[in-house]
Structure formats: structure tokens, C-alpha cells
Amino acid sequence: DTAVSQTPKYLVTQMGNDKSIKCEQNLGHDTMYWYKQDSKKFLKIMFSYNNKELIINETVPNRFSPKSPDKAHLNLHINSLELGDSAVYFCASSQGRQRGEETQYFGPGTRLLVL
Amino acid sequence: AQTVTQSQPEMSVQEAETVTLSCTYDTSESDYYLFWYKQPPSRQMILVIRQEAYKQQNATENRFSVNFQKAAKSFSLKISDSQLGDAAMYFCAYRRGIIQGAQKLVFGQGTRLTINP
């Protein structure tokens, strides 16, 4: 069973469109994250939710809107897609209630290509 | 703000040899965690090894070990008996020591490791 899953794995779309990426974890974790990996492979945090509450919101355009319907799911909606949004988006989760639970487990990534 | 630096964009090693990947970080905190993640061509981010800053003993996982120098803020990864399957991008990452809630990972730029048969 996949621990952290993302759909879709690949997304090709036109500039100006709106798209969503979904993430689900079956690890029972409280915290979920979205990271962006750019064309130079650099990974940077975008958002994090803990128990459905937005905790981390880095400097991300407000065209990006995360949503957590429950602890096991964290979705990312992107409005008015731009060429610069092309990247790989990773979802991750962690427990983080006590020492030893800090490790973040990553999904397989969603490669987004905006044409 | 914390920063992580990997000064080796690319490294290569002969199969069965040993290679060391470098990582330095900058923080004013005393409690934190350090990680090495591996990203093979499949794109999956795979945890290789983790180190807790309050532990002086260097972490080891089979052929992977770290040299954690807290005073120097250095966290290198040693891969022994390199195998073809070790070929990947390797990322060093830092996490603050606060236990509960969401704490982001701060990543280095990555080192691409090639294994020569």
C-alpha cells in the first residue's frame, strides 16, 4: 500500500487554466506539506497543514490555494497557471507528536508542465 | 533563517568504492534534525538517514553513515561499497527541533551522484 499518494503524476496544461493536485496519506499522520521542486531541482516548502489547520504559508502567489478536507488529504489548487508554475510538486506527511516522529515521508511527485 | 549548502553539484565514484557528500548548514538553534534524502531518476524522495543534533553519536544505516560535526555545522554522508542503485540526487535537509506541529524542511541544492561500473 502506498503511504503517500498523489494524483495525477503528470499534468500538462495550457497557460491560464486552473488545475488541482490531490494528495492522500494512509500513515495516520497529523501534518501534511506541499513542496515545489523547480527546474534546477531545488526544493522549497509552500504550505503545511496540521490537523486541517494551515500552519505554514510561505511566500507563494495567491493563485495557489491549499485545502485540507481531513487529516489524510491535502489538495493544491492552482488558478490562472503561468509558465513559471512548471515544476514538480511533492506532497509529504509527518507525525511530529514526539521525538522520533519528525521524518517527513514524500509522495511520488506531480510533474506539472504549463505550455 | 536557516540555510543548507551542498557545495558539490556533482560527484562520481567507482562501483564498490567509498564516496563522501558534503553538507554545511547555518542555524542559531541548538536543537534540530538533519536528514539526507535520495532522489533517483524515478523522482521519488527516499529518506536515507537522519541525525538528531542532541545526539553526539553519528547515525548509521547499513552502508550509509554520517559525520556530524555540530560545532562546525557540518553533516556529510558517506556511502561505502557504492552500488549502481546508489546513483541519484542526494539532498541534505534541516528541520528545527520543535517537536509538535508543522516544521518545514530546508533543503540544500543537491548533489548528483554517478556510479561508474
Segment B33-91, tens digit of pLDDT = 999 999 999 999 999 999 999 988 999 999 999 999 999 999 999 999 999 999 999 99
Residue A99 domain flag: yes
Q: Which three cell numbers stand for residue A39?
A: 527546474
Q: Which domains does chain B have, with CATH numbers?
A: 3-116 (2.60.40.10)
Nearest residue of chain B to residue A9 (CA atoms) = B43
- Which residue is closest to B111 within chain A, CA to CA? A41
Q: State the cell numbers at A29.
A: 499522520
Q: In chain A, which residues have their Cβ closer than 8 Å to the Cβ of B36?
A: none
User: Which domain, by its residues, includes A22?
Assistant: 4-109
How many degrees, rounded to 5, is the angle at CA A91 between CA A73 and CA B76? 145
CB of A96 within 8 Å of any CB in chain B? yes
Select the residue of A43, A109, A111 nearest B107 (Cβ to Cβ): A43
Structural domain count, chain A? 1
Beta-carbon contacts of residue A62 (< 8 Å; ≥ 6 apart): none
Question: Considering the domain boundaries, does residue A55 fall inside one?
Answer: yes
What is the rounded CA–CA span in Å between residue B51 and residue B55? 8
Distance of alpha carbon B91 from alpha carbon B110, whole angstroms:
5
State whether A90 and B52 contact (CB < 8 Å).
no
Here the CATH number for the domain that contains residue A49 is: 2.60.40.10
Q: Tell whether A114 is covered by a domain.
A: no
Is A53 within a domain? yes
pLDDT level of residue A63 (50, 70, 90 thresholds): very high
Is the pLDDT higher at B55 or at B112?
A: B112
Asked if A60 has any chain B CB less than 8 Å from its own CB, the reply is: no
Query: Nearest-CA residue of chain B relative to A47?
Result: B104
What pLDDT, on the 0 to 100 scale, is given for residue A88? 97
Q: Pick the closest to residue B40 from B97, B85, B98 (CA basis).
A: B85
Residues comprising chain B, all counted: 117
From the list B44, B52, B99, which residue is nearest A96 (CB)? B99
Evaluate whether residue A35 is within a structural domain: yes
Nearest to B47 among A44, A90, A103 (CB): A103
Distance to chain B for A17, nearest Cα, Å? 25
Average pLDDT over residues A11-40: 96
Q: If you search the block for the grid coordinates 552500488, which residue do you land on?
A: B83
| A67-79: average pLDDT | 94
Please check whether residue A17 lies inside any domain of the structure: yes
Task: Indicate whether A1 pLDDT > 70.
Answer: no
A115 belongs to a structural domain: no
- Cβ neighbours, 10 Å, residue B14: 11
Q: What percent of chain A has pLDDT over 90?
A: 79
Residues 76-105 of B with CB under 8 A from A: 89, 91, 95, 99-105
The yes-or-no verdict on residue A97 having pLDDT over 80 is: no
pLDDT at A99 over 90: no
Please report, as a single letter, which amino acid is at residue A20: S
pLDDT given for residue A21 in this prediction: 98
What's the confidence (pLDDT) of residue A84? 94
**Looking at the domain assignment, is residue A85 inside a domain?**
yes
Backbone angles phi, psi at A85, to 5 degrees: -80, -10
